[in-house]
Structure 1
């Protein structure tokens, strides 16, 4: 089956893996691994999974988890930089952490905070933690987010990265039925080049992309 890559829109895609529930294809251009559209969950079933999440701002373990993105990004921000937490989920927490550090924040989530007005503003930084693996059209959505950044602004992404086919076959990350896109280091390199941004990979599951011109 020849499928179009949801990141780069390339058509050179090859079957990569199959488990008991789904197939996975890899794009030979940007190296994204993705689930074919007909095997994605319907919106109601997808939201039912998210409704089970119990992430809260008062959970120190969850804060430590988010600190993997928060710490390297916070170190690169100017005082008072304004941010957007995209895909904040049912218990927004990263936005609270940045607000505590003096950064005004907006939040957006297609299920829990679907206020499209915040997508018409400009920001100094945008975060998406454990979000991109859920996106059906990551190329289009990440390009739109990058377009909201002021010159010099940062796009901070947190998602686990694909390594080898052998590791992928054993990977717990693919067991979540809402995970449909899996980025590799090469995927982020393609994205940065496509968007004309500079890329930093400060941790195995963190990517920081900076808009040029700041």
Structure 2
């Protein structure tokens, strides 16, 4: 097991390896460059492997307007179910939604 956080635990050796599973809990909403950062997460996966993401999902424009989650100034990127389906397609992996906040990406 390895831990990596660019601010609080910047262990760069951890992001040079391959893993059977990677978890990313309440992180992706902080990505300033989501395409680059998500690609880096996928680059950490061995084959077969699982990437598990936990974040709140945008439901629709009306609910977004009054959504508390968007008011956190560190939350700069938001995702819907369709966004994660697009990401899965781009990275050629399967996607599965568990409950309301957990997304599994499975390669191989």
TM exceeds 0.5?
A: yes
- The unaligned stretches of length 5 or more in structure 1 are 1-104
Whichever structure has more strand as a proportion of its residues is 2
CA-CA distance at 1:152 after TM superposition: 1.5
> Match for residue 144 of structure 1?
40
2:52 & 2:40 partners in 1: Cα distance? 14
Q: Which runs of 4+ in 1 moved over 2 A?
A: none
Does residue 204 (structure 1) correspond to residue 100 (structure 2)? The answer is yes
TM-score norm. by structure 2 comes to 0.97
1:146 & 1:181 partners in 2: Cα distance? 18
Structure with greater Cα Rg: 1
1:148 & 1:108 partners in 2: Cα distance? 12
> Match for residue 10 of structure 2?
114
Residue 124 of structure 1 aligns to a residue whose secondary structure is: strand
**Greater relative CO (CA pairs within 8 A, separation 6+):** 2
1:197 & 1:127 partners in 2: Cα distance? 16
- The unaligned stretches of length 5 or more in structure 2 are none
Does residue 186 (structure 1) correspond to residue 85 (structure 2)? The answer is no
Q: 1:123 aligns with which of 7, 15, 19?
A: 19
2:99 & 2:48 partners in 1: Cα distance? 21
Task: Give the length in aligned residue pairs.
Answer: 108
CA-CA distance at 1:202 after TM superposition: 1.0
1:127 & 1:137 partners in 2: Cα distance? 19
Does residue 173 (structure 1) correspond to residue 63 (structure 2)? The answer is no
